[in-house]
Each structure stands twice: as C-alpha cells, then as structure tokens.
Chains A and B, each alone.
Chain A
Amino acid sequence: EAGVAQSPRYKIIEKRQSVAFWCNPISGHATLYWYQQILGQGPKLLIQFQNNGVVDDSQLPKDRFSAERLKGVDSTLKIQPAKLEDSAVYLCASSANQAGGTDTQYFGPGTRLTVL
C-alpha cells in the first residue's frame, strides 16, 4: 500500500512570495489533515477535510493560508503572501475514518519551507 505522498520536499522562498504544497493521501482515505510543525514544537493542525468538505479550519490563518481538496482526493495548501514565521515543516496526513475504533492517521514525509 502506497503511503501519503507530498511534494515538494523542500522549498525556499522570500517573504511576501506565494507557495503551494501538494498532498496525495492513501487511496480510499476519506479524511485528510494538514499540520504545521515549527522547529522544536509538535505538529499543529491547520485544516481537516472529510472527503472534499472542511471539518475544522479553526487554526488556519485565513488571511494568508488557503487549502482545497477537489474531488475528495488530492489536496493543496497555499500561502500567499508568506511571512518569516511561516518557516516550518508542513505535514499531510490521512485516515480511513472507519466507524468504530480509533482512526489512525498516516503521515507523509512533509514539506520543509524556509522563508527568507
């Protein structure tokens, strides 16, 4: 079974530029998550999708961050314009969201963003 794929793996941009990250979840997984992991901290949820609908985006800085999951499969996360404090690893995770039991999240390798 293929894991969660993310691209690019690394990105360096200057502040005020825009950037986009792509995530392809595990096939058949209904739920997709984007996390931001700042150096020295644990991951923080930015947005959660259930199929192509948003379940939770309470911690997404909506003035500069946007995300979409068209057709309930792949997802993109965009930052426009980027700030220095956006430097972090952006992790995508997916889960099957099976009824009953606990829903295990499977994480991709992440995209490391450096904003100069």
Chain B
Amino acid sequence: AQSVTQLGSHVSVSEGALVLLRCNYSSSVPPYLFWYVQYPNQGLQLLLKYTSAATLVKGINGFEAEFKKSETSFHLTKPSAHMSDAAEYFCAVSVTNAGKSTFGDGTTLTVKP
C-alpha cells in the first residue's frame, strides 16, 4: 500500500519569498507522484506530475518539484511567492498508470503582503 505525508499543515510566506511545501511518500513499487492545488470552493487542479522521466518536474504557475528516491521525497517549490498562490496544496501518490491516487492531508499556503 502507498501513503503520503505532508509535513506542515500550514505554511506562511511573504510575497516574493521562496515557497517550499514538503511531501514524503511510501510505496512498494516505483510511484507516480502528483501535486494538486485547491482554491476555496473549487475542485483540485493538477500542478505537476512525476512519471519516472526527469527527476525535476516543472509545472504550471512557476512551481516545480524534485523526486528524490533516496529520501522518498517530492517537495514542491516556487522561487517567488505571489498573493494568488494562497491555496491548499495536496501531494498524491499512485502506483499504476490509471489507478487511484492516495492523497496527503494537505498544506494550506498563506502569502503575506
């Protein structure tokens, strides 16, 4: 079975500062990894996904994540936070191409002016 742990349920940064959201996964087979963003009263939107190609994955809105097998991590970063980045972020893992994803409990990102 696979699982995801997101470290820090709330992260607060100043506008223009580095964003770092942490995700560690557990999987018995090579995983597929995802980051989603959820704005209030909306569904989840895919930011980026890791599919065993390049370990550094670039996504939308300037976000990127690096797959580190030795650390079983897939942390999400953005060099400079924008007010519009304030939202909840979910890390997810899947072990098949078209199977279900197991989600972490989410990290709420607050961006201070």
Interface residues of A (CB under 8 A from B): 4, 31, 33, 40-45, 48, 55-56, 91, 93, 95, 97, 100-110, 112
Contact = CB atoms under 8 A, between A and B. Distances in A.
Contact of B43 (A45, A100, A107): A107
Contact of B90 (A43, A100, A106): A43
Contact of B106 (A42, A93, A110): A42
Given A43-B44, A43-B90, A104-B49, A97 B98 contact: yes
Given A48-B100, A95-B98, A102-B49, A109 B43 contact: yes
Nearest to B50: A102
A40 B105 contact: yes
A109 B42 contact: yes
A48 B94 CA distance: 14
Contacts of B97: 100-103
10 contacts: A4-B43, A33-B100, A42-B106, A44-B103, A91-B44, A101-B51, A102-B49, A102-B97, A104-B49, A110-B42
A42 B49 contact: no
A108 B43 contact: yes
B92 A42 contact: yes
B98 A103 contact: yes
A45 B106 contact: no
A28 to B, nearest CB: 15
B45 A107 contact: yes
B101 interface: yes
B90 A42 contact: yes
Contacts of B36: 107
A47 B110 CA distance: 32
Given A31-B98, A42-B103, A105 B46 contact: yes
B70 interface: no
A105 B97 CA distance: 11
A112 B38 CA distance: 14
B96 to A, nearest CB: 9
A4 B46 CA distance: 14
Contact of A45 (B32, B100, B104): B100
Interface in B58-113: 90, 92, 94, 97-106
